[in-house]
Structure formats: C-alpha cells, structure tokens
Amino acid sequence: MAESEKQIREDVRRYYAQLAQEGSSCCGPSGCGSLYPEEQLISLADIPSLGCADPISAAHLSPGETVLDLGSGAGLDCFLAARQVGPTGRVIGVDMTDEMLERARHNAERLGLLNVEFRKGLIEALPVEDASVDAVVSNCVINLSPDKPSVFRELARVLRPGGRLVVADIVSNGELDEPFRSAENWAACVAGALRVDQYIEGLQSSGLIQASCRTHDERVFSEIPPGIPFSALITAVKPA
C-alpha cells in the first residue's frame, strides 16, 4: 500500500473515532437533516447518522435476505435493514474503526437485534465470503477509500448472482473544484469523491451491470454546477 493511502486511511480512522467518542453525526456537503422517513426512526433517533442519503429505502429489502453494510458506523443503516429482512434475514456491518464498532455492538444489544453482526475490516478487503449477500448498501463511505477499484471488485465478489448494490455517496458532475480537493476534506467525505462517470465505469469494470446514478433529491445533473460535490444514490446488479 502506498504511503499516501496509509495516511488517508489513518486520517479517516482518526476522524471517525473522534466522531464516535463525541456522538456526532453528519457527513458530506448536503447538511445533517434527517435522511429517513420519521416513522423508520422509532427507537433509533438517538443513533447518529453519518450518511448523505437513504440507501435503505431505495434497496427495497425483503424478509430473509442477507445484507452487507460497508462502513457501518454506529449501526443505524444496519438496524433499519434488520427490521426489513426480519428474523429470517441477516445483516452484516463492516467498519475499520474500533470506536464505531463498539458503539454499534452496544446499540444492537440494547435494541435486542439478534440478526445483526458487526465485523472489523476494510472495505477494500471485506471479511465476507464470496457470493454470500443479496444486497450491499453503504452510506457516504466509498468516497473515503483511497483504493476504489479494490472496493468495486470486493462488491462484485461478495454479491450473489442477481444480487444488487444500492449506495449513497458523494460524487461530482465534473472534476472537483480546487478548494474541495484539500487533504483535510478527504475525511469529510468530499476530496475523495469520484465523478459520476468514473463511478459507473468502476462498477462496470468490476463486472456489475445496470449501473446508474441519480441525485438523492431528484435534481437532474444539469442543475448541478460542474466541480461541486453532491449526494447521490448509485445502483448496480451482479449478473445472474
């Protein structure tokens, strides 16, 4: 691993460890308002969201499915998914930050959710078996990776044939403007954002199909100035 990648990963780990200790929430340039329908947050309102959109509603999860959450943080998206897949389903959260994993496991125990587990690992080298999950979700995390091709390959590896990817992330409509590319903006979910076309090409290169991207608030891309990061929902499918 290049020294610059190690430094980025350590900066990100330190940043999110601090957020876990402080109980802070918010990621990305779109603000920290509630991302989810209010009725979904019953008993979960005290768990912070570090996301930029709502991938869980967009994933249309079904009872009995196995779901993987990349960069699971304090566990909110995992808990929302666990309710939808039910007791016959399973949710796996992967995070590299010990402090976040501790909070997530505590929250799962407090909520009495037995169909959720949290594993320590990198999203570039997932501690998950080949072709073992029906859906991969993620919320404002893939942009943090310094090695996105590896992430995309891992997504294709762990999905079952016919499985789907639904992630919320920060992207851009052109090359990021210079102020957003500073090193301190990487952990804040901005500097590592891919262009929309790069994201789609990366997923396709990993073997996924039907890759698409839309703004989380239904704006058309032409309404967003080039070079400005924004929240999006990205979807793709593994060939059956």
Instruction: Domain ranges for the chain, please list them.
Output: 3-237
Give the DSSP per-residue string, 201-225. Answer: HHHHHTT-EEEEEEETT---GGGS-
Inter-CA distances, 129 with 5, 63, 91, 97, 161, Å? 25, 21, 14, 21, 13
pLDDT tens figures, 201-240: 999 999 999 999 999 888 888 888 888 899 999 999 999 9
> Of 10-14, 20-24, 41-45, 171-175, which gets the smallest average pLDDT?
20-24
Per-residue pLDDT, 180: 81
Q: Look at residue 64 and tell me whether its pLDDT is greater than 60.
A: yes
Q: Among the ranges 18-22, 48-52, 110-114, which has the highest mean pLDDT value?
A: 110-114
| Per-residue pLDDT band at 158 (split at 50, 70, 90) | very high
Task: Using alpha carbons only, give the angle 186, 226, 203 rounded to the nearest 5 degrees.
Answer: 65
Q: Among 3.40.50.150, 3.30.479.30, 3.40.50.300, 3.30.70.360, what is the CATH number of 3-237?
A: 3.40.50.150
pLDDT tens figures, 123-157: 999 999 999 999 999 999 999 999 999 999 999 99
Decide: helix, strand or coil at residue 157.
Answer: helix
